[in-house]
Amino acid sequence: MHTMNLNQRRMSRRLVAPAALALLLTLSLHAQLPAGTRDVSQPETQTQQQDPLRAQAAEALSKQDYATAVKLLSTLSEKNPNDARVLYNLGSAHDALDQSSEAEAAYRGATAASPNLLEPHLALGLLLARIGKTSAAHTELAAAATVPNGDPALRGRAYRALARLDQAGNPAGASDELLNALKLSPETPDDILLTGELAEANNDPAGAEAAYRRLLAADPDNTQATAALVHLLIRQQKTDQAETALTAALQKYPDDVPLNTQLAALYEAQNKPEQALPIVEKLHAAQPRDPAIARLLARLYARGGAYDKALALYSALASATPGDPTLLDDQADALIRLRRSSEAEPLLQRAVAAPKAFPSTESYAAALSRLAFAASSNNDPTTVLRALELRARVQPQTPSTIFLAATAHDKLHQVKEASDLYKQFLAAAKGQFPDEEWEAKHRLIALEHTK
């Protein structure tokens, strides 16, 4: 769901603030470190204090001239390879320039030089989280959170980042980490939102709803809380409440993308494509590269019979994400509807070659059914039977699949198999497929004359 993507973006922002966070954490080379974080084993010598490069580096950092700061601090680090403060500031300057590898190396140098200095552990953990090294990030953030006598606000930041890291895979642990953060620093709106998300993950919908409503009571204009509450209400099938919350929020923020996307998805789920379509067309015009919006619009076009428009969107999405077999399946479905089965069949062949990449056995089985149908239209009975054989391994036969199998055997002149399957189809169809039933009866008569 879209909310899930929104949560991931929020997590990224919280775990790794941009260059501003690096600056916030950066310490002046002459400034006293926050309480409890100075490594007294490495006092500055008089020679170090007199080094003019230090003052120049401090000035460059204060002016956010990170490129100059990197040059000066690199020289200082060569002179003082075990100076944790120099290495930390060098890492911060690299971080601000999005030079992740260099920043990581400098931060690691700082933590090695002064293991009980909180800031390098925290900055390194946030950086590692941003670049996807979650296990290593967890280690560094845990070290920052438990630095003896460390600054409470920074330890709280570390615990909050740990909670975000653990939110998906270990929600119970994330809840404990958030509680630890709240013992060190005051609760924030983001904390309340995270409380609700963790309650959802821990199968406590009542607790989640209470948290979201508490946040909205304090901050009625918090669109993230509204989106989270709506997502929860939809999961609980409280669609009337969800629609009320969305429409009220959109009166204040008519261009909010996540809220509009949720409302459109809600209308789609309620089988109201005519209400969803104008919302999603507007969203797509504003966010043409958003794959979730493009896919929702393609589905709506397909439901409305505008298969040419759906095909254009699905084709672009499949090209951008070639490893997603469901996009190939959707693209092929639009082609089949447009009577272009010859183009659909190879797409479906590629899609079903990766069964484990489908989100469910049902979606995999549906793709195999489409492959069988496309192959039948293309007079390719061997592929029809192979597709139906694979489908039968994950789902029972239906009247439609039995009929496709019967016609495939018929085309291969396999009289006995075709006759048996036509009879099975007629027994299962029971008047639901009049055209196919008529064909099956006439083919049975014709097959009798070939014996």
CB 123 within 8 A of CB 85: no
Mean pLDDT, the chain, integer: 88
**pLDDT at site 162:** 97
In this predicted structure, what is the pLDDT of residue 291? 94
- Residues 372-386 have pLDDT tens digits of 999 999 999 999 999
**Contact in structure between 86 and 6 (CB atoms under 8 Å):** no
- Read off the pLDDT of each residue in 63-90 and give the average, rounded to a whole number: 95
pLDDT for 255 beyond 80: yes
Q: What is the pLDDT of residues 385-408, one digit of tens each?
A: 999 999 999 999 999 999 999 999
Q: How far apart are CA 270 and CA 10, in angstroms?
A: 28
Span 58-66, mean pLDDT?
Answer: 94
Burial class (CB in 10 A: 0-12, 13-18, 19+), 355: middle
pLDDT band per the 50, 70, 90 thresholds, residue 449: confident
* Cβ neighbours for 142, distance < 8 A, ≥ 6 positions apart: 158, 162
Average pLDDT over residues 223-240: 92
The pLDDT of 216-239, averaged and rounded, is 92
pLDDT(249) > 90: yes
Q: Mean of the pLDDT values across residues 248-259?
A: 91
Q: Chain centroid to CA 258: how far?
A: 14
**pLDDT tens digits, residue range 103-119?**
999 999 999 999 999 99
What does the block give as tokens for 317?
């999405």
What whole-number distance in Å separates Cα of residue 299 and Cα of residue 302?
Answer: 5
Q: Hey, how many other C-beta atoms are within 10 angstroms of the C-beta on 48?
A: 18
- Above pLDDT 90, what percent of the chain? 82
Q: What are the residue boundaries of the structural domains of the chain, listed by start?
A: 1-33+47-186, 397-451
Q: Are the C-beta atoms of 73 and 93 separated by less than 8 Å?
A: yes
| Residue 25 pLDDT exceeds 90 | no
| Yes or no: domain 1-33+47-186 corresponds to CATH 1.10.600.10 | no
Using one digit for the tens of pLDDT, what is the confidence trace for 410-421?
Answer: 999 999 999 999
pLDDT digit string, tens, across residues 120-159:
999 999 999 999 999 999 999 999 999 988 999 999 999 9
Query: Does the pLDDT at position 43 exceed 90?
Result: no
Q: What is the mean pLDDT of residues 36-65?
A: 68
Is 70 exceeded by the pLDDT of residue 38?
no
What integer is the mean pLDDT of 251-260? 90
Note the pLDDT of residue 269: 87
State residue 170's pLDDT score. Answer: 95
Query: Does the pLDDT of residue 260 top 60, yes or no?
Result: yes
pLDDT value at residue 48: 52
- Residue that is written with structure tokens 């919006």 in the block: 293
What are the φ/ψ torsions at residue 321 (nearest 5 degrees)?
Answer: -130, 75
pLDDT of the residue at 451 = 64
